[in-house]
Amino acid sequence: MNRKLSFLISIIFIAVFALSACSTAAPTEAPVVATDAPAAATEAPAEPVVITWWHISTKDPALSSWQKMADDYMAAHPNVKIEITVLENEAFKTKLTTVMQSGEVPDIFQSWGQGGMIEQVNAGLLQDITDELDANNGEWRNSLGALDAFAVNGRNYGVPWDMGAVTFWYNKDLFAQAGIEKTPETWSEFLEDCEKLKAAGITPIAVGEGDKWPGMHIWAYLVSRIGGAEAFAAAADMSDARTGSFEDPAFIQAGYELKKLVDGGYFQEGFLGATHDDMQAAFGNGKAAMILGGQWSPSVQAANSADLQGVKNLGMFNFPAVEGGAGLVTDIVGGGNGFAIGKDAEPEAIDFVKYLTSLENQIIIAQDNTGIPVAKGAEVGLTDPNMVMVSQAVANSTYYQLYFDQVLPSAMGGIINDAVQKIFAGTATPEEVCAEIEAGFLAQ
């Protein structure tokens, strides 16, 4: 081998050793050793326990908040070691699928409840924690809201840690520029406003249909506005007593209403290939007047905008009511994040989750302003006015419709996303799209 190459290889080896040396010297968070035990006081030294926890809060402040809570818990319980794996959402799903098919499951992991959770429960991968929730006269249960999303047949296999809602966010300046004085409350007003914006040379709505789910929310909201709570519940019923279908009029009409937006040319140029980040950037840079987005939108549109400030005059309104529809303007579509408990989790893991969802820690989560806390009384932590708006929309909601893909079996999320995209692309009629969704549902 020539000199240069062997030189390079020796450099690599030296670098490896040097780096290994410094990283061992660096203050890594070594497992708290049992000798520190006296901190826990009275109890006899307990068996060492390792808890594995996978979450998807890759960014600060949540990332550090979780880490600190884990550190604090470990300090108070020297026998417990919490191994955290932080994964990006897509990577998390890939890894969880791979691991679960081999029969393994982390002790605590990110979950969105319902559909996906039901399958995991049926496969015996999760642990029933209902008794812990009900212990001490239901002390833990009563401290939390939104527990139903993580219950299967009345038994809980996880708990939520935040919740949120999808609403319209709009740029007040652009609305004023187009001569729109008040936010639309009905669908026809909404369409008129879109027309006004378009006439004023402003892109009415940005959507990241390349990622599929942002546009799916528009359709889901239309379904909920037209058919009310009933239509979806009837169609999504997994039992033999199912009365509805995804081909019911509400679903088809929702497709046609959505088509009006597409045909009207109300979305930004290239929306079919745009990502969710693109959509937030377009909105944040004032290139579109509205987005339909979750509680995360205010912070993401700001982060993705050129000046990092985002829309100067940001407003929010509920998805308008569709005339003649069964749903109310105050019905909310939303969902949240939670922890599922793996089948092999030790009692300490459940105790740790209890600690994570305690009021004091929930206030910390609220202060991050990325979601609405679920512990009762933790809303006081919300400081961002935008988050307060979302929180109020949820508090005042007449019905809280969980995201469709969270209610349905996990495969359905992908099926609905793929099908609804065809309305955006104009490659299928709403009837065909609904038939495809129904066929997908029946195959589950």
Alpha-carbon separation of residue 163 from 130, 270, 382 (angstroms): 20, 31, 13
Pick one of 199, 425, 439, 442: the residue that binds another protein (CB under 8 A): 425
Site string for another protein, 115-134 (x = CB under 8 A): ----xx-xxxx---------
Residues 77-106 interacting with another protein (rule: CB under 8 A)? 83-89, 91, 93-95, 97-104
Total site size for another protein, rule CB under 8 A: 91
Q: How far apart are CA 405 and CA 146, in angstroms?
A: 17
Angle, vertex CA 401, rays to CA 398 and CA 405, nearest 5? 175
| Least distance from another protein to the Cβ atom of residue 184, Å | 25
For residue 44 the two structure tokens come to 């006899």
**Cβ-based nearer residue to another protein, 243 or 313:** 313
* CB 217, CB 166: distance < 8 Å: yes
Name the minimum Å distance from CB 119 to another protein: 6
Give, to the nearest 10 degrees, the angle between helix 410-425 and helix 249-263. Answer: 40
CB of residue 126 to another protein, shortest distance in Å? 10
**Distances, alpha carbon 185 to alpha carbons 12, 37, 190, 320, in Å:** 64, 61, 7, 5
Closest CB 270 distance from another protein, rounded Å: 2
Q: How far is the CB of 26 from another protein (least distance, A)?
A: 6
Interface of this chain with another protein, residues 198 to 257, rule: CB under 8 A:
209-212
Residues 308-337 within binding reach of another protein (CB under 8 A): 308
Is residue 405 within 8 A of residue 411, CB to CB? The reply is: no
Phi, psi values for residue 44, rounded to 5°: -70, 150
By C-beta, is 155 or 287 nearer to another protein?
287
Beta carbon nearer to another protein, 2 or 153 = 2
Contact flag: residue 50 with another protein (CB under 8 A): no
332-341 vs 372-373, strand pairing mode: unpaired
Residue of 319, 326, 185 whose CA lies nearest to 249: 326
Q: Which helix (H) or strand (E) holds 68?
A: helix 62-76
Return the number of the residue (143 or 406) whose C-beta is nearest another protein: 406
Identity of the residue, 87 or 191, whose beta carbon is nearer to another protein in the bound complex: 87
Q: Binding residue for another protein (CB under 8 A) from 323, 395, 427, 439?
A: 427
CB of 24: closest distance to another protein in angstroms?
Answer: 10
CB closer to another protein, 92 vs 175: 92
Q: Rounded CA gap, 131 and 238, in Å?
A: 26
Q: Quick check: 209 and 262 in contact, CB under 8 A?
A: no
Of 210 and 430, which CB lies nearer to another protein in the complex structure? 210
Q: Is 394 left (phi over 0), alpha (psi -120 to 50) or beta?
A: alpha
The residue among 64, 374, 338 whose CA lies nearest residue 366 is: 374
Q: Which residue has the tokens 């599922």?
A: 340
Q: Are 292 and 168 in contact (CB under 8 A)?
A: yes
CB of 70 within 8 A of CB of 82? yes
Nearer Cβ to another protein (276/354): 276
Min dist CB 346 to another protein, Å, is 17
Q: How far is the CB of 129 from another protein (least distance, A)?
A: 19
Please identify, using beta-carbon distances, which residue of 277 and 351 lies nearer to another protein.
277
Q: Site map for another protein, 53-82, x if CB under 8 A?
A: -x-xxxx---x-------------------
Element counts in the chain: helices (H) and strands (E): 17, 12
Considering only residues 17 to 36 of the shown chain, the ones binding another protein according to CB under 8 A are: 19-20, 22-23, 26, 28
- In the bound state with another protein, the residue whose beta carbon lies nearer, of 165 and 180, is 165
Residues between 251 and 310 that touch another protein (CB under 8 A): 268-278, 280-282, 284-285, 287, 294, 296-297, 299-300, 303-308
Query: Min. distance of Cβ 15 from another protein in angstroms?
Result: 6
Of 237-245, 252-260, 389-397, 413-421: span binding another protein (CB under 8 A)? 413-421
